Structure 1
């Protein structure tokens, strides 16, 4: 009689492979970026997910950049939360580890960005000689061309200083990003792509900014690989 091997080990191997096939969303620098909604079928938006929110964003063409200037969004790093610290320092305190202060507990003098969300590397921050930037996840120029030019100055200042739209990141990578949207730029560090795109979706939803057709397609393409990715709340 020919003896056959039990099918159980093979079945367990297949189950394990399927379990490992999901999207690893990675960590961005602030709370609220992790996935956790019940997963639906692969590629299908779960209720309350970033993918579902992306699907609901308004699609329009990109408006002209005419009239855009950084000061249309208020002075850089305003203290919009009235805690007597500039927004830049608030974000550095949130995103860096081993933070050191110049005086008191406001002006950040140094620290370490562990696992930069754009490169996955560790970056040292030294005030005045920094390799760390604070990035507007939805670039202000991009926002200007997709609805913000119609706002008053107060709302634009709120967007520019909203922690939901800000991340401490590697400076050289941030400068290469420019004002790119999801259709034209994504982090090279692939584990960050799901939470990064989810953050862009969250900002655009919160401020009722529109997206181009190519941008929406790119958002859905990334997020369909992690359909349970939640929207960050800031």
Structure 2
């Protein structure tokens, strides 16, 4: 069974078990793509503390298969609500970093190249803030943390560095808007989300766990002294 992740609260659910509604209609017009199929989906988060809904639509050329219509060639797909798939992160992460991430995710479909520019700036901000590294450009900063991060994290960062125009422009100004495709932009956003979790969230979780251990040890010591 496939899973579905709520873009608002991040809760994972079994897709077949959540409230959902599918609708479609056929546009019988003489377009250059022929007849069109317009379809839409609404998914409702089952988390009682969330209950937000996601609304997605798609249009493409229509074809008939036994008993129903299907899209033969996709033309465009939109996520109407939310406008971008933005994961929620704690507010102890620096505000400037979260703002760049959220804006990058919000405009990923509308403008992949602007989204990638913001994501590159977000990545540089994280490296500088979390690792205290500041070099002349993002490329040098990524190289500077190679020995500081685990192998899996470095491979993910290096994979992004090596693809298409993102990698080709890492040695240039991070505010330079570069031509990237939607897939490249989305990969960069997924990397940002991974690093936010692995660096900031996990560091805070370690701090909380350590505080609990220290408090428990102090309580144990006090009981022994009584």
The two structures have a TM-score, normalised by structure 2, of: 0.31
The answer to which structure, 1 or 2, has the higher relative contact order (CA under 8 A, 6+ apart) is 1
Larger strand fraction of residues: 2
Larger helix fraction of residues: 2
The two structures have a TM-score, normalised by structure 1, of: 0.30
Q: Based on CA coordinates, which of the two structures has the bigger radius of gyration? A: 2
